[in-house]
């Protein structure tokens, strides 16, 4: 029996132009298509990128249901269903591609899908086609570098709370706050208190027709924003320690 390969195809965050040539090629070859949905009757963010690229998905493309819940039994059941659906198709000998918005290694379900499929059959070969992450596209969109030269960069789900974010602002030149929705007001208050509100930018659904860029972040107070939204924050005042540079001789550096 020949097993197909499971391929995570990163599509970039929303603009079909940000698909890589490798992703495009993967979509042009014969393969079973799968893509994530949060509800059985809901659309797919990932599939939508492909459609906007002008590609017609194959008629037998299969949505895999990953409900937005933290209920362990519901989750276990949907993962079991998804992985057996994928394995069944791999066992037909054809490759299975899983469409991923953004980058498949960055806050994606693909890693977990690959693990669960390989738990069922360790022979399954997995390939990941990397993509443009949402925060790289957001930085490009607003024209502000994420990190330069000796900068440090942290990417965290905002849900860890303002105390953690406050602390991170002391240690990083650049902060990407993901999933800001549930505590946007608190984060805005923190940035105002620290005098950093002018160094923050809000981006929602970057590269899609629903994209929204808000540079005056304070005016978002009290607003309900989309799930796929993020904040880019710079701290130009971060106290920096010594840095050892690549071009220095090792011995000299060690003597410091």
List the beta bridge partners of residue 99. 9
**Which run of H or E residues covers position 32?**
strand 32-37
Q: Is 36 in the site for a second copy (CB under 8 A)?
A: no
| Least distance between a second copy and beta carbon 190 (Å) | 14
Q: What Å distances lie between residue 125 and 5, 94, 96, 115, 165, CA to CA?
A: 5, 12, 11, 11, 39
Count of residues engaged in binding a second copy, rule: CB under 8 A:
73
Instruction: Report how far residue 183's alpha carbon sits from residue 231's, in angstroms, rounded to the nearest whole number.
Output: 12
- Quick one: DSSP state of residue 183? G
| Least distance between a second copy and beta carbon 141 (Å) | 8
**Lookup: tokens for 69:** 């819940």
| Least distance between a second copy and beta carbon 164 (Å) | 7
Q: Which of 17, 43, 93, 195 binds a second copy (CB under 8 A)?
A: 17
Residues near 85 by beta carbon (within 8 Å), at least 6 away in sequence: 34, 62, 64
Exposed/middle/buried for residue 59 (C-beta within 10 Å: 0-12, 13-18, 19+): exposed
Q: What Å distances lie between residue 177 and 113, 207, 212, 233, CA to CA?
A: 25, 18, 16, 8
Nearer to a second copy, 92 or 185 (CB): 185
* Selected range binding a second copy among 28-36, 39-47, 79-87, 245-253, rule: CB under 8 A: 245-253
Q: Is 93 in the site for a second copy (CB under 8 A)?
A: no
Q: Is 34 in the site for a second copy (CB under 8 A)?
A: no
Q: Which of 48, 95, 101, 103 binds a second copy (CB under 8 A)?
A: 103
Nearer to a second copy, 92 or 213 (CB): 213
| Least distance between a second copy and beta carbon 232 (Å) | 10
Closest CA to 100 of 141, 126, 133: 133
117-156: contacts with a second copy (CB under 8 A): 126, 128-133, 136-137, 139-141, 143-156
Q: Which of 19, 86, 169, 191 binds a second copy (CB under 8 A)?
A: 19
200-229: contacts with a second copy (CB under 8 A): 227
- Residues 230, 203 contacting (CB under 8 angstroms): yes
| Least distance between a second copy and beta carbon 103 (Å) | 5
Q: Is 49 in the site for a second copy (CB under 8 A)?
A: no
Q: Going residue by residue from 163 to 202, which x/- string records binding to a second copy, judged by CB under 8 A?
A: -x-------x------x-xxx-------------------
């Amino acid at each position: 029996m020949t097993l197909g390969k499971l391929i995570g195809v990163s599509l970039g965050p929303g603009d079909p132009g940000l698909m890589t040539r490798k992703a495009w090629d993967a979509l042009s070859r014969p393969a079973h298509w799968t893509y994530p949905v949060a509800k059985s009757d809901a659309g797919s963010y990932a599939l939508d990128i492909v459609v906007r690229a002008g590609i017609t998905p194959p008629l037998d493309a299969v949505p895999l249901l990953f409900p937005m819940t933290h209920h362990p039994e519901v989750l276990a059941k949907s993962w079991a269903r998804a992985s057996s659906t994928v394995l069944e198709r791999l066992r037909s000998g054809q490759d299975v591609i899983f469409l991923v918005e953004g980058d498949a290694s960055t806050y994606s379900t693909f890693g977990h899908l690959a693990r669960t499929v390989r738990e069922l059959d360790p022979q399954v070969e997995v390939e990941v086609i990397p993509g443009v992450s949402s925060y790289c596209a957001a930085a490009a969109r607003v024209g502000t570098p994420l990190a330069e030269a000796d900068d440090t960069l942290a990417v965290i789900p905002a849900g860890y709370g303002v105390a953690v974010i406050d602390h991170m602002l002391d240690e990083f030149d650049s902060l990407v706050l993901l999933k800001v929705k549930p505590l946007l007001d608190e984060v805005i208050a923190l940035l105002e208190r620290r005098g950093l509100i002018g160094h923050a930018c809000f981006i929602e659904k970057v590269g899609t027709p629903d994209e929204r860029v808000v540079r005056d972040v304070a005016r978002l107070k009290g607003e309900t924003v989309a799930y796929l939204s993020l904040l880019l924050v710079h701290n130009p005042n971060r106290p920096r320690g010594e840095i050892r540079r690549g071009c220095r001789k090792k011995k000299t550096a060690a003597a410091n």
